[in-house]
Amino acid sequence: MKKEALPDRRKAFKKMGAWIVAGSGTLTLAYLALGREGPIDQWIRVAPVSEFPINEIQARRVTVTAHGRWFDQQVERGIFVRRNPDDSVMVLSSVCPHKDYNINWKANLGNFVCPGHKSAFDPTGKVISGPSPRAMDALEHKVEDGILMVRYQKFKRSIPTKEVFS
């Protein structure tokens, strides 16, 4: 009886292994086909400029549409806004130009820091240290009737020039 049980057990393990390999391959293909985030290029309404304190960097979350191969999806992204004394505005993407980590503003240090590979940026977004190949990505913006409008775009990573991801 033991001799008959062993081949059945081996067949069962082979079938389970085949199912695991097939399942993981299917999940990988589904992710590559459906789950990858596509390009983002959208004008969004952020807030009245008067809501931003002068000479203070503030983080904001915005919702934008990522255009995927098969479908579009709503995603949240971060921006940093600084209002100058003349009411002009600086807007930076919070996504690190090196990899897709979210950069943090460290007010106690007076600079931006990427938690991934420790790139550091000055208050204007210029690289101070780390592996980032370029400054933080500035975002096109305008003020309409006192409201800050930002053109949120997704940019290619790990290259020295700022290029829109398409």
**For 100-122, what is each residue's pLDDT tens digit?**
899 999 999 999 999 999 999 99
| Residue with tokens 């290619």, as numbered in its chain | 156
Element (H, E) at 91: strand 89-93
Residue-averaged pLDDT of the chain: 89
Domain identity same for 1 and 22: yes
Q: Where does the pLDDT of residue 9 fall: very low under 50, low under 70, confident under 90, or very high at 90 and above?
A: confident
Q: Is residue 110 part of a domain?
A: yes
Q: Is the pLDDT of residue 34 over 60?
A: no
Q: Is residue 158 part of a domain?
A: no
Domain identity same for 146 and 68: yes
Whole-number Å distance between alpha carbons of 95 and 82: 17
Domain identity same for 30 and 45: no
Domain identity same for 68 and 83: yes
CB count, 10 Å around CB of 21? 10
- Report pLDDT for 17: 77
Domain identity same for 97 and 134: yes
User: Which whole-number Å values give the CA distances from 138 to 6, 18, 74, in the listed order?
Assistant: 65, 49, 22
Residue 143: CB partners within 8 Å, gap ≥ 6? 49, 87, 89, 149
- Report pLDDT for 131: 96
Q: Is residue 142 part of a domain?
A: yes
Residue 119: CB partners within 8 Å, gap ≥ 6? 96, 98, 103, 113, 127, 129, 130, 131, 132
Domain identity same for 79 and 111: yes
Domain identity same for 5 and 82: no
User: Which whole-number Å values give the CA distances from 107 to 53, 83, 122, 123, in the listed order?
Assistant: 14, 16, 11, 9
Q: How many domains does the chain have?
A: 2
Element (H, E) at 74: strand 72-83
Q: Is the pLDDT of residue 5 over 60?
A: no
Domain identity same for 126 and 141: yes
Domain identity same for 54 and 76: yes
Domain identity same for 21 and 54: no
pTM score, whole prediction? 0.80
Q: Where does the pLDDT of residue 16 fall: very low under 50, low under 70, confident under 90, or very high at 90 and above?
A: confident
Residue 24: give the domain boundaries.
Answer: 1-35
Query: Which CATH number characterizes residue 55's domain?
Result: 2.102.10.10
Domain identity same for 31 and 45: no
